[in-house]
Amino acid sequence: MKKMILSVIVLSLMMPALAQGLVVSFSDSSGSKGDTVKIPIQLDGASNVGAMDILLKYDKAILRARAIEAGELGKNALLESNISDNGEVRIVLADAQGINGKGSIAVITYEVIGEVGSTSKLNLERTLVSNLELVDVIVTTKDGTFSVTEKAFPLFYIIVIMAIIAIIAGIFVVKKRK
């Protein structure tokens, strides 16, 4: 009976650590039509990750994938990728040293082609991960959403307009005093 109670206590203490595991995710992001945006695939809780196989799907009427590069956690990994015209990106990577920690594993560069107000899910359709011993790792995935927004008025133009208004106001005040 004591062994059973001890086992229950040990398991209950381990559950929070087991529940955390590896999380692969996209953050929600946005951009304007014609923009080029970089969207990272994030890892949280990576511990001796040796290999990953990721299939991502998105709406090809809203985004067009252009390039894939290693993120901060993937900089030492061998990374291969395939971009298809049907709204899919496949990324395969391997790292003999093991990937550990939290950060971006890969960054996908997209061209925004959708209209203002449209959205695309960034679906992690398949995410297979193994550790350095080639044992499968349990993964939690979190999909993201990309939203097409109106072009922002560049800050530079706002500053120039404010400067012109200040100059005109200064000229008006000087003329009024004369």
Task: For 148-171, write each residue's pLDDT tens digit.
Answer: 999 866 666 677 777 888 888 777
Looking at residue 74, the DSSP 8-state letter turns out to be T
| Residue 64 placed within a domain | yes
| Residue 165 placed within a domain | no
| Residue 161 placed within a domain | no
| Residue 176 placed within a domain | no
Mean pLDDT, range 101-116, rounded to an integer: 96
Query: For residue 176, is pLDDT > 80?
Result: no
| Residue 54 placed within a domain | yes
Count the domains in the chain.
1
Quick one: pLDDT band at residue 141, thresholds 50, 70, 90? very high
Looking at residue 114, the DSSP 8-state letter turns out to be S
**Per-residue pLDDT at 139:** 96
**Per-residue pLDDT at 154:** 65
**Per-residue pLDDT at 164:** 82
E strand or H helix that includes residue 45:
strand 36-57
61: Cα within 13 Å, side-chain hemisphere = 5
| Residue 89 placed within a domain | yes
| Residue 9 placed within a domain | no
Supply the CATH number for residue 112's domain.
Answer: 2.60.40.680
DSSP codes joined into one string, 77-106: SEEEEEE-TTSEEEEEEEEEEEEEEEEEEE
| Residue 163 placed within a domain | no
**Per-residue pLDDT at 172:** 73
Q: Map residue 169 onto helix, strand or coil.
A: helix
**Domain of 45, in residue numbers:** 21-152
Look at the pTM and tell me if it is higher than 0.85: no
